[in-house]
Structure 1
Amino acid sequence: METDRFEALIDAILAIVITIIVLEIPMASNGSWQALFDLKYEFIIYAISFMVCFNFWNFNNNLFSVVNKIDSKVIWTMGITLFVFTLLPYLTTFVAENFYEFFPQLLYGLSFIITSIFSILISKFLRDSNPGNIALYLVLEKDYIFAMTIIFIAIGIIIGYFVYPPAVIICCLLSIIAMWTVPKIRHS
């Protein structure tokens, strides 16, 4: 199967997810700076969720630009990944309204872990369905970043459980930053 329509589906789903996330930010109770400051957790988690969406789109855009064909394994694995990803608006609001509670933070972190695990599978399935595609192999040589994300989030979950629940979301943010910087450092 060609990838154009599949890429369009991914783009559409991510656009809807971002729209829902931004619509879930509550309005300030009045026009004061204090009312806006009271929404700081909503804005923090929105910013992180937006970066998650952008990062996911950017990776998939770069990836599928070099993919020649996909098969049912790629389609269904990406479908499951997108299902988990569409929970992001709910999880964003859940964390924003319960910022210092461990369970919402845990669920947010688990969505990162599940997405990373499925991304590893998608990478494997794409290699299998595109043998000899050198460009694809070059893009996927950085798929260690998914394992790095799992490790970051696991550390955040441990710290969050025992010490400080927002450590989970901090580690989610750090994993995104690492995804952008570590490949550049390794190639320098």
Structure 2
Amino acid sequence: MNKGRLEAFSDGVIAIIITIMVLELKTPHGGTPADLKPLIPVALSYILSFVYVGIYWNNHHHMLHAVRQVRGSVLWANLHLLFWLSVIPFVTSWMGENHFSKWPVALYGVILLMNGAAYSILALLLVKQAGPQSTLAIAIGKDWKGKLSVIIYLVSVAVAFIEPAISLVLYTLVALMWIIPDRRIERVLLEKEDN
């Protein structure tokens, strides 16, 4: 089936996720800069989560650009990813409202881990559908960056119970690893266009 509906639906859900997150940013009572201080953890949580959702949207776009069609299993895998993305506003709010305490920071890591796993499942199904010599399969390769991300998430969840600040640094590190769109897919697509 055509991938257009999958892309449009995913874009809509991701837009709603971002909207829900921004609605959690409450206006402070008071008109001085000091009144903003209690909102700093909430704002920082929002920024980190906005970056993560943006990374998933961007890489999802690139990954689907490399395929022509999708099967039913891909639709379900995509819904699985969208489910875990939709939980990000909840953990973002919980983490910010509780000033990065250990349980919210740990759960945030679990949700990031589940998003990473869901994205990997979607990528594997797309590669399986397209074949081992497909543009997507060549671009993804062994996906060391994805595997490293999962390891960092696992470590971060455990570390959150000792020092949540270290977990936040590790979550930020993973985001920085992925903030540039997946150049592997872009590179392979450009090579194919040149040939």
TM-score (structure 2 length as normaliser):
0.86
Note the C-alpha offset of 1:141. Answer: 2.5
Pairing 1:45-124 to 2, within 5 Å after superposition: 45-124=45-124
Greater RCO structure (CA 8 Å; 6+ sep): 2
Note the C-alpha offset of 1:47. Answer: 0.3
| Alignment partners' CA distance in 1, 2:143 and 2:73 | 18
Show CA shifts across 1:155-177 (max 9, x none). Answer: 22222212x12332322111011
Unaligned runs of 5+ in 1: none
| Alignment partners' CA distance in 1, 2:148 and 2:21 | 26
| 3-state SS in 1 of match to 2:30 | coil
| Alignment partners' CA distance in 1, 2:23 and 2:133 | 41
Name 1:37's counterpart in structure 2: 37
Q: Is the 8 A contact 2:51 2:179 kept in 1?
A: no
Larger deviation, residues 50-59 vs 122-131: 122-131
Equivalent position amino acid for 1:134 in 2: S
Unaligned runs of 5+ in 2: 188-195
Note the C-alpha offset of 1:45. Answer: 0.4
| Alignment partners' CA distance in 2, 1:64 and 1:22 | 27
Name 2:170's counterpart in structure 1: 171
Equivalent position amino acid for 1:176 in 2: A
| Alignment partners' CA distance in 2, 1:36 and 1:92 | 18
Q: Percent identity?
A: 22
CA RMSD of aligned residues (A): 1.9
Pairing 1:15-26 to 2, within 5 Å after superposition: 15-26=15-26
Equivalent position amino acid for 1:79 in 2: L
TM-score (structure 1 length as normaliser):
0.89
| Alignment partners' CA distance in 2, 1:53 and 1:68 | 24
| 3-state SS in 2 of match to 1:39 | helix
| Alignment partners' CA distance in 2, 1:179 and 1:28 | 33
Note the C-alpha offset of 1:96. Answer: 0.5
Name 2:191's counterpart in structure 1: none
| Alignment partners' CA distance in 1, 2:15 and 2:2 | 22
Note the C-alpha offset of 1:142. Answer: 6.5
Pairing 1:4-15 to 2, within 5 Å after superposition: 4-15=4-15
